[in-house]
């Protein structure tokens, strides 16, 4: 979380604090003193504040209790609680008390628990560029989802006053990337290289997969991650690079999706004495909401990518990471509902572009006395023309790598699935029956 987002969130908290103060006797003086205050905190200070406040909230909810008005489901904070704990604590409690009953049940407490657990270790997501590094500028290209492609919008005619469509507000407002241009040192793209000597055409892991024991039911139960979360878990090491890349789209990327397939793969497609050509496939997702609204999950079908990098990591000629748009539906969306059972609504839709790519080949971070580490280079040259002068010593076709990674993510694909338009001829030639499966989306990506 950068300082700008920290400041905006604290400013919003100050506004909410005024609203809480109005419910308590003697609030006028507090309202006057806090009305226009903006507190600027570092990310570490903000996380410490969240932890301290969270513990106080639990004391308010569990230790001293909250006064609930008789015969009403809406609670008001007791004036004595306000004087003891202050408006910030009560505001924070209200954000997590989704059903507004004056108590946190386990479902409401779960997202707060993730914050408490995650804050125990401080971490920075900075990726410094040293003067002797090479640097690349990555550009984010984003066209928002086509709302008309969603069944929930089509069925409700997208009436913004319809309470059933309120969860889509964050999706509707997401119209551009969070960061349009960002510089990275080329050395950080070692994330996509194998830690051992890879065989050409054989996938290897970028991010760790969830534990998958032999017992199928155990696997089904314990590889699913909670949907009742707001903030991504900590990342360390090379995974910080992947987090920072995906955060160019939205500030809350989850580099491991909640459901299988989880994780990321890469595959060496070609090499020569100087260069490596690597195919990439990533399954990640984004959570768009903030309390008190319920989590809203945005899960692209997949991120497909390609990286052409020198073996010594000093140069990058090509990098592209994108959501394929060749199918009618390519994004899955899920959001928790405010009902007693905390069920989820689900929809799928289509977006035309969600893409990261280099604006140009890598360049020295410093050149003839000029510091280029923070200089953002616009895209000025034909993108695919950069690879025409490379001759590969050994290579396989792109679809060989894509097929190999697909089989790791989806073992069922080892059985051939054919399009309806071609299956009858093949069935006739092989004298086999046709088993027809009709689906809303595709089974071999996460848009279904």
Phi-psi region for residue 158, left (φ > 0), alpha (ψ -120 to 50) or beta?
left
Alpha-carbon gap, residue 32 to 29, rounded angstroms: 5
Residues contacting 154, CB < 8 A, separation 6+: 148
Helices (DSSP H) in 119-225: which residue ranges? 151-156, 169-173, 216-222
* Tokens at 59, concatenated: 């004391």
DSSP string, 96-146: H-TT-SSS--HHHHHHHHHHHHHTTS---------TTSEEEEEEEEEE--B
Structure tokens at 344: 């989820």
Supply the pLDDT for residue 34: 34
Cβ pair 104, 61 in contact under 8 A: yes
Distance CA 443, CA 410 (A): 9
What is the rounded distance in angstroms from the CA atom of residue 295 to the CA atom of residue 305?
28
Q: Cα separation of 294 and 242, whole Å?
A: 26
CA distances from residue 306 to 100, 167, 175, 183, 244 in whole angstroms, order as listed: 48, 35, 25, 18, 17
Helix (H, G, I), strand (E, B) or coil at 422: helix
Cα separations (Å) of 403 from 158, 179, 279, 286, 416? Answer: 39, 32, 11, 26, 12
In tens digits, the chain (448 residues) has pLDDT values of 444 444 434 344 444 444 444 444 443 333 333 333 334 445 444 454 445 544 444 444 443 343 333 344 566 667 777 666 666 677 778 777 877 788 888 877 777 776 666 543 334 478 999 999 999 999 999 999 999 899 888 776 666 566 667 888 899 999 999 999 999 999 999 999 998 888 999 999 998 655 444 444 334 333 578 888 888 888 888 999 999 999 999 999 999 888 888 889 999 999 999 999 999 999 999 999 988 888 999 999 999 999 999 999 999 999 999 999 999 999 999 998 877 677 888 999 999 999 999 998 899 999 887 888 888 887 776 666 678 789 999 999 999 999 999 999 988 888 878 887 888 889 899 999 888 877 766 677 665 5
Cβ(254)–Cβ(226) under 8 Å? no
At residue 349, the pLDDT reads 94
Q: Where are the domains of the chain?
A: 3-118, 134-413
264's enclosing H/E stretch is: strand 263-271
Do residues 292 and 96 touch, judged by C-beta distance below 8 A?
yes
SS3 at position 79: helix
Residue 137, pLDDT score: 94
Interatomic CA distance for residues 291 and 71, integer angstroms: 26
């Amino acid at each position: 979380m950068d300082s700008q987002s920290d400041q905006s969130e604290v400013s919003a908290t100050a506004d909410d604090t005024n609203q809480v103060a109005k419910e308590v006797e003697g609030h006028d003086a507090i309202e006057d003193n806090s009305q226009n205050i903006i507190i600027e905190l570092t990310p570490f200070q903000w996380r410490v504040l969240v932890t301290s406040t969270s513990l106080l909230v639990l004391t308010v909810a569990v230790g001293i209790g909250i006064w609930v008005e008789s015969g009403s489901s809406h609670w008001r904070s007791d004036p004595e609680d306000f004087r003891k704990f202050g408006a910030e604590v009560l505001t924070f409690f209200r954000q997590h008390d989704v059903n507004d009953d004056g108590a946190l049940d386990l479902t409401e407490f779960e997202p707060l628990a993730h914050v408490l657990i995650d804050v125990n270790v401080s971490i920075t997501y900075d990726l410094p560029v040293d003067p002797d590094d090479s640097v690349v500028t990555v550009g984010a290209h984003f066209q928002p989802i086509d709302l008309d492609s969603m069944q929930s919008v089509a069925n409700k005619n997208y009436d913004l006053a319809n309470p059933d469509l309120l969860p889509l507000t964050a999706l509707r407002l997401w119209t551009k990337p969070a960061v349009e241009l960002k510089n990275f040192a080329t050395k950080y793209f070692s994330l996509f290289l194998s830690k051992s000597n890879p065989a050409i055409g054989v996938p290897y892991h970028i991010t760790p997969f969830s534990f998958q024991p032999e017992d199928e039911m155990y696997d089904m139960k314990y590889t699913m991650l909670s949907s009742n979360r707001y903030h991504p878990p900590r990342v360390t090491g090379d995974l910080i690079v992947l987090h920072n890349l995906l955060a160019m789209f939205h500030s809350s990327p989850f580099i491991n999706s909640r459901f299988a397939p989880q994780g990321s793969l890469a595959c060496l497609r070609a090499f020569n004495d100087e260069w490596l050509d690597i195919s990439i496939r990533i399954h990640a997702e984004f959570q768009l909401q903030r309390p008190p609204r319920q989590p809203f999950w945005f899960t692209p079908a997949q991120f497909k990518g390609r990286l052409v990098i020198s073996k010594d990591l000093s140069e990058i000629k090509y990098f592209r990471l994108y959501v394929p748009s060749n199918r009618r539906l390519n994004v899955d969306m899920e959001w928790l509902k405010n009902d007693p059972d905390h069920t989820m609504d689900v929809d799928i839709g289509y977006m035309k572009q969600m893409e990261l790519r280099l604006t140009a080949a890598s360049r020295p971070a410093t050149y003839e006395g000029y510091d280029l580490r923070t200089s953002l280079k616009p895209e000025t040259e034909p993108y695919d023309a950069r690879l025409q002068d490379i001759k590969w010593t050994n290579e396989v076709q792109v679809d060989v790598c894509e097929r190999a990674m697909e089989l790791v993510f989806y073992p069922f694909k080892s059985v051939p699935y054919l399009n309806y338009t071609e299956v009858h001829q093949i069935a006739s030639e092989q004298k086999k029956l046709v088993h027809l499966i009709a689906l809303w989306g595709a089974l071999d990506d996460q848009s279904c």
